[in-house]
Structure 1
């Protein structure tokens, strides 16, 4: 009879360094603050002022240069993204569509691709991508945003399976509408619809999402990868 052996749990001897994109405001800034409270060394990156590093997440050379200069990173929280236009699909310009995908999907791909080799070499890593409840439900008038976030979920699930035996865990967080600067430019009717669909009857707060992110970035998680964790005030139905 073959005796089964429990897998070795990989841990880092010292707190890892985290890269948080979109870290100048909103969920990214809240996640950075929460990780720092856990004793993690955090590097924030954003095009907006206030981050440690200025970064265009769609620029592969800039992404590679940042990881080479400030890495290796044991944690990636990829929070950079845009909502894009609130328009019927039939009225959506192709360039607007492509911009949403370039930032939300290409940016996720580039950041993950850049940090994965160092994490695998270390035998430990945590990647948290930012999806949306819109990825599951499809918000009317937001086809580019909804489908781009669905692509983020697909990427997360695929990468989680690829790295499942390496010690690197890859998970997504799918919030409902959250009161952030990114949503300040969102059509108020779209936000009102999201709030009305939320059983708690309110928008989320960045700090609430950051708590979930911090847990997924920690060594307290060991058996979840390629998963989607909802933070939707009860809106998520699957």
Structure 2
């Protein structure tokens, strides 16, 4: 049995239970203690369990609430820079792209060079400022209601405008990805924008650093089948 399968079996066994003794876990699942201890150490590092003296406890996925944009761009900066660079490598010259609001989209806008001659649509004022600073000329900002917490443009006007666009690539902010691969954002208003963008894009990518994994948020808008995760 490969490690990932074994660790999934361990987590499924622990769900819904209180503290389980390590020896009990080993006996019930027929996993040698040495192998089990290595798996438990890795699962604790992934924030999925809590190791206790002689036992282990399943850690329920935390629920993610929306935080202010100014705070989010200071969190997990190295990971977000890495995600931005991976996303940029997927963009071809002369592409039409959508860059979503949020901190991961912001890092794409911040690092995206103008020599690709792109057509860029975004629903974030912060993205526009970075793109213009980098020399991009064909930048379009959706109209609608400005949301102070995330810096996003949302609402009816934005949705109506999106219906007129076709994108080669779309890069969407993700607030959480649960264990089953469902992808979340924090409100129906944010979700409506993302769903419309996915419908009008040839390729859609979700941007998620490690703090978003195995967690949930308020509104489910996609899964790993409908968009690719970076």
TM-score (norm 1): 0.36
The structure with higher relative contact order (CA 8 Å, sep 6+) is: 1
Bigger helix fraction:
1
TM-score (norm 2): 0.37
Bigger strand fraction:
2
